[in-house]
């Protein structure tokens, strides 16, 4: 990932609670959370994570917009566009698998990076904070899974009724 600088993190409580995953935290919990994460300033069009790389951080989008994509069949397929308040890269906090998609900044982004080490520290030393953060993350992830399930079911329904090969334009009915 390319970053010009690490910005000075002077955020108000209102700015932090804009993030859904932090909305239920107290002022004290937010202060602890900020002490465990690092701000990252990413210029527009720069890669933040790349497909198949090993990851050790998730990112919360304080400001900006990113595009999540995956190469398939020789071309990039956009999976999602995320903006302020969203997060990505969370799966690496739970498994050792490579990144499942690439993420690029559509415009300049201010992110909060939560490393696996910081996340593990949060679980050990601030279990209530970790539980609240996890619950909020899981709400979002569950919503994403439900959306993907619906898209898959819709595509299966469409494929059932859509002809596999279109009729030839020169074919004439008899």
Nearest to 56 by CA among 115, 100, 2: 115
The Cβ of residue 87 has, within 10 Å, a number of other Cβ atoms equal to 21
Q: What is the pLDDT of residues 106-132, one digit of tens each?
A: 999 999 999 999 999 999 999 999 999
The per-residue pLDDT string of the chain (174 residues; one tens digit each, 9 = 90 and over) reads 544 444 555 667 777 888 889 998 999 999 999 999 999 999 999 999 999 999 999 999 999 999 999 988 888 899 999 999 999 999 999 998 999 999 999 999 999 999 999 999 999 999 999 999 999 999 988 887 887 777 777 777 766 666 666 555 665 555
**By the 8 A CB rule, do 53 and 96 touch?**
no
Domain ranges of the chain: 13-161
Percent of the chain topping pLDDT 70? 83
The mean of the pLDDT values for the chain is 86
How far is the CA of 68 from the CAs of 38, 140, 156, 161, in angstroms? 21, 16, 23, 30
CATH fold of the domain at 13-161 = Jelly Rolls (2.60.120)
pLDDT of residue 172: 55
Residues 6+ apart with CB under 8 A from 81: 65, 66, 67, 68, 106
């Amino acid at each position: 990932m390319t970053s010009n600088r690490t910005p000075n993190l002077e955020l108000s409580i209102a700015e932090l609670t804009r993030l859904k995953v932090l909305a239920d935290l107290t002022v004290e919990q937010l202060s602890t959370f900020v002490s465990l994460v690092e701000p990252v300033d990413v210029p527009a069009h720069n890669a933040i994570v790349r497909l198949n790389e090993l990851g050790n951080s998730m990112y919360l989008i304080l400001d900006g917009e990113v595009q999540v994509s995956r190469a398939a069949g020789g071309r990039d397929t956009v999976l999602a566009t995320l903006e302020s308040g969203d997060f990505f890269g969370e799966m690496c906090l739970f498994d050792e698998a490579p990144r499942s998609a690439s993420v690029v900044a559509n415009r300049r982004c201010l992110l909060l990076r939560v490393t696996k080490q910081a996340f593990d520290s949060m679980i050990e030393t601030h279990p209530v904070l970790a539980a609240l953060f996890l619950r909020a993350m899981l709400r979002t992830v569950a919503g994403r899974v439900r959306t993907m399930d619906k898209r898959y079911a819709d595509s299966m329904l469409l494929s059932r009724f859509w002809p596999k090969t279109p009729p030839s334009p020169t074919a004439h009915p008899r």
